[in-house]
Structure 1
């Protein structure tokens, strides 16, 4: 399984018991839908390795307590500590309407109701307080905040996102 065919679910953050159980912090708004998985991929030395899950349950709402098959003692748990957890993209719940996954909109065209076609989304920058669309307009990078007030419509069929940005925002990037 290749990493680009998967989505990041979370990370193993600490050991839970001396029997090899671990706690994983999940990067999701709905951790309960991942409570009964059979298997998951762990990122070990830059490879995704499948691990089978013996049991799992939510622990303090945002952590998932996991007992993997063949991880039976502390040393086994140490070996997988801080590993990223990944699942195949087809296991992502489908989103409706104007909600979307970041990876899903890469390559979409952004159109502003006043400005017109802005460009193509090449990445999402989520390292700042507010996530940003990184848009390529003929080699010029334009950043638009992913603010619910700015996003009018997500048109999956035509791979377009319609935005209504404050006047002058896009022009800031185009002035010489």
Structure 2
């Protein structure tokens, strides 16, 4: 099964012919220039492919997309607030190493517990980042700050952390 990475969210419609505005965190204004397909999560874990007819930059974090099969403002409105994903190949091509999205799919390894799981989402908070990691059927929030981050191994896609004693136990009960 292919792996999909969250790239942004549809925040508005534009015009009368079905354009949408995608808010993305790729770190690059022209990130979608060569992308031909996006996947929209219409239902949980159901990724529907949409082919991009055209795109143009709105600003550093937003792009106008015209999707095949969406011809009206009403059709575009049905996609509002939906999450937009890319397949792994396209995702890795466009995401900047300076973007927090770069770490999606990386393994998280604690010094004491070993491999915890893979980063499914990065939650940005004012004081720190939280890595949303799935372990079995449990969702864990791993704080990533100067106290917990030990090293990021970009070659092997592993984030090494030193977690506070008892943090993982909270999720195991």
List alignment gaps of at least 5 residues for structure 1: 112-116, 136-141
Alignment of 1:120 onto 2:104: no
How many angstroms does 1:64 deviate by? 0.8
Deviation above 4 Å: which 4+ runs of structure 1? 123-128, 156-163, 171-174
The number of residues matched between the two structures is 153
**Would the alpha carbon gap of residues 18 and 101 (structure 1) be closer, same or farther in structure 2, given more than 3 Å must change?**
same
Whole-angstrom distance in 2 between the partners of 1:134 and 1:86: 16
Q: Is the 8 A contact 2:13 2:20 kept in 1?
A: yes
The higher-RCO structure (CA 8 Å, 6+ apart) is 2
Q: Is the 8 A contact 1:123 1:133 kept in 2?
A: no
**Would the alpha carbon gap of residues 67 and 159 (structure 1) be closer, same or farther in structure 2, given more than 3 Å must change?**
closer
What CA deviation, in whole Å up to 9, does each residue of 1:14-67 have, x standing for no partner? 111011111111132224222331111112233211111110011022111011
Q: Is the 8 A contact 2:41 2:83 kept in 1?
A: yes
Q: Which has the larger radius of gyration?
A: 1
Whole-angstrom distance in 2 between the partners of 1:157 and 1:62: 27
TM-score where L is the length of structure 1: 0.66
Aligned pairs for 1:81-96 (under 5 A) are 81-93=80-92
List alignment gaps of at least 5 residues for structure 2: 134-139, 169-173
The equivalent residue for 2:105 is: 103
Q: More strand by proportion, 1 or 2?
A: 2
Measured on the aligned residues, the alpha-carbon RMSD in Å equals 3.4
The equivalent residue for 1:49 is: 48
TM-score where L is the length of structure 2: 0.67
Whole-angstrom distance in 1 between the partners of 2:90 and 2:35: 10
What CA deviation, in whole Å up to 9, does each residue of 1:117-148 have, x standing for no partner? 3443246685572224589xxxxxx9763125
